[in-house]
Each structure stands twice: as C-alpha cells, then as structure tokens.
Structure 1
Amino acid sequence: MTQTPDRRGLLVILSSPSGAGKSTLAKRLMTWDPSLQFSVSATTRAPRAGEVDEKDYYFVSETTFRKWVTEGEMLEHAHVFGNNYGSPKAPVEAAIGSGRDVLFDIDWQGAQQIRTSALGSHTLSIFILPPSIPELHRRLVTRGQDTPETIAKRMRKSWDEISHWDGYDYVLINDSLADTEEKLKTIITAERMRVAQQPRLSDHVRTLQSQFEDLS
C-alpha cells in the first residue's frame, strides 16, 4: 500500500519578460533544493546549440504537439515567437502526487492556464520585474543569445508580459539576483506549509479528536 506523502507538491511558476532573470533564478532554486523538479516543456522550435532532447525540451513536430493538445496531455500551451510551447501534464501530476515541487519557467498565458486548471489550488505563481526598461534591454544584449531583430521583438513583447503582473500571487523586482533569490526561498518555504499542501493533516486532527473523546 502506497503511503500518503506528508506534503503535496507545489506547482511553482516563475514568469517575467525575457531578460528579467527568471531562468537564472530558476537554476539557483534548483541548486538550493535539488528535490525541485524542473518542468521540461515541449516545443516545436529547432534545438539550439548544446540543447538536449528530453532534458532541455521535448523537441516535437507540429503534428505531435497538436495531438497532445487535442488529447488533453498538455497542462498549458502557447504560441510564442512563431513556435509552440507547452507543459506535458503526466510528469507534473506524478511529481506533485509524490510530494515533489515542480518548477515552471513560463509566460503569463501558461501561468493563467495552470492557475485555472484542475491543479490550480496547488499553484504558486511569482512574477519577476526588471528594475528598469533600459536595464532589461542591456541584459538581453549582453547575454548574446539573440539577433538584434529578435531582441527588438522581445522588447516589444515585454510590456505585454509586464501588464499582467497583478495576476500573480507574488511580484518581485529583480534589482539584485542574490536578494531576489533569498526572497524566493522564503516564499516557497512558507507556501509549502499551506493547509491544502498537507494531505495528512485531516487524519491527524481526527486522531486528536479521538484521543480527546477518550479522555471524556
């Protein structure tokens, strides 16, 4: 018989405009707590240099992606910069059911879909704001991953992302990676203790009630 875990896993969502630091912060959280399971997204875009299939992304065809969406196998999905991205549902359900938190690096559209899904009550959403727009642009340029045209597209999209800041549980201004990392750790540690995340609490309360009645 499988024992109920002491704690149900959280779906920890990090969102931000490109360049605000969410990917770096996600990596730092994984180092802080290796039990965190990163949600590997499926995408129809081609792999970049050094990316590994089923580790960085599930690289799939448009046909396969549409099939997964139609069959309800995606927890969330979106079309971004000409490609489809989405989070396969099965590994997420298995992880949180066994008490492991799952970390998502997704945009506001994906966050909204997860928050309104059947797993929404176990979701913790955090939006990362840049300290300024010039700094956001500087970070995109200095990381050296995109062409000037792509950077321009990301900057145009950034305000659309930022405009959804108030749809999240927490919002942090990332003017210092170290400080923002510490705030994230504090938030996650506290949210793990939500009543909804502790499935054995009701059994413990019933035991206390029985013990109380035995004293009567």
Structure 2
Amino acid sequence: MPGTLIIITAPSGAGKTTLVRGLLDRDPQVHLSVSYTTRSPRPGEENGRAYHFVDTESFRELRDRGEFLEWAEVHGNYYATSRTWIREQMAAGRDIVLEIDWQGAQQVRRVFPEAVGVFVLPPSFEELESRLRGRGSDSDDVIARRLLGARGEMRHVGEFDYAIINNELQEAIDDLVAVVRASRLRCANQRARHATYFETLEQD
C-alpha cells in the first residue's frame, strides 16, 4: 500500500508553511516530513516538530552516511530530508508532505518520479516583499537576499505539476486539499490500495 509523496515548494514569504498547516488540519491522512536544518529556531519553533535542528558538523555526518534523501544549502543554511523515514512511511501507506526548495524537489523526483509537485506563488512580487517586511524578523540585507533568491526560485514553477497562487488564504488551502485528494485518487494509487477489487474488474 504505497503512500503518496507530495512536494510543496515556494519562495520564502509565499505562505507555504501556513498552507501546509491548513492542509494538515483538514486532512488527517496527510503527515508532514520533519526536515533537518542547521539554521537557528525561530520564535515558537520546537525541535522535532518544525525541524530537527542540528549543528553543521552533525548535519554533514548524517549526509555522509547517506541518511538524506535530498539536501541543499539555502540562504547559508543546510536543509535535508530523511531517506529512511520517508521510505518507511510510504511503505506503510501514509501520504507524506515535503516542504522543500526546488533543488531538493529535483533530487527527490529522481528517486520518486511519481511524487506530486506543488509550487506556491505569491500574488505578486510586490506582495511578497510586503509579507517579508511584515514579519519584522529579518534585516533589510536578509530581505533583499531573499527577494533576489525568490526571482530565481519562481522561474522553476514549470517543473511542478500544480501551481497555487496564494492570494486569499482559505481559497489557497482549498486548492491544496483538492490537489492532495486528487493525487490520492490516481488510478495507480487506487489499484494499490484496493488490489483485490481491481483484480475482479479485470477478470473475464
């Protein structure tokens, strides 16, 4: 009973984390993959829930042991996904969401080509800048670097199966829920979940 792997990518400030939280609240069958990172926790983030926070040396040791499905350096920090955990969860039939950047998405889809890719876009570049400044947690230099990086990231939207423009939050959450449910209903997935029933349909 293989689960569905959903990759969600967005530039910083597009609202990806909020959308994923809304998806998890609406669909209890979906589970979030907790990534590893070397960045410092933000206010309210708990180790093991938002991320597995590790130092750079520990991260490199895990990477060199082949523990990660994908890893990337983003804005001076490392991020990665546990290969072992993903395989175990999918083998158990669980649907897993990965919040990763476009580089990580490319790496994951080489291993799981059937993964569903979703790119979250802000309604405009101006709105993205407004949201980043509204956080009040980053300096002007950091915001400028994130905006520059966002332009490059958004050029990769065409590599994904779905694009959601996060203009109105609840509508965007509805869109994401619809994508996940439709992905779960793909014929190959239904055949795996209901093998005996599908076999009877193919009998003479």
Structures share fold, TM-score greater than 0.5: yes
Which position in structure 2 is the counterpart of 1:120? 113
1:75-90 alignment, distance < 5 Å? 75-90=69-84
Please give the secondary structure, in 2, of the residue aligned with 1:146.
coil
Matched, 1:143 2:135: yes
Matches within 5 A, 1:22-41: 22-41=16-35
Instruction: Show the counterpart of 1:177.
Output: 169
**Aligned twin of 1:159:** 151
2:197 matches 1:204:
yes
Distance 1:209 1:165, change over 3 A: closer
8 Å CA contact 2:13, 2:131 repeated in 1: yes
Q: 1:190 aligned to 2:182?
A: yes
Aligned residues: 203
Partner secondary structure for residue 120 of structure 1: coil
Distance of 2:52 and 2:78 partners within structure 1: 11
State the 1:195 CA deviation: 2.7
The 8 Å contact of residues 27 and 177 in structure 2, kept in 1 or not, is answered as no
What TM-score, normalized to structure 1?
0.87
List gaps (5 residues or longer) in structure 2: none
Change (3 A) 1:18 1:209: closer
Whether 1:19 aligns to 2:13 is yes
Unpaired runs of 5+ residues, structure 1, are none
- 1:101, 1:208 → 2: CA distance? 26
TM-score w.r.t. the length of structure 2 is 0.91
1:100 to 70, 73, 94: 94
The one-letter amino acid paired with 1:206 is E
Deviation string 1:149-172 (CA, Å, 9 cap, x unpaired) is 211110110101101010000112
- The structure number with the bigger radius of gyration is 1
Aligned 1:35-54 pairs, distance under 5 A:
35-54=29-48
Return the offset for 1:65: 1.5
Counterparts of 2:31 and 2:153, CA distance in 1: 25
Identical-pair percentage: 40
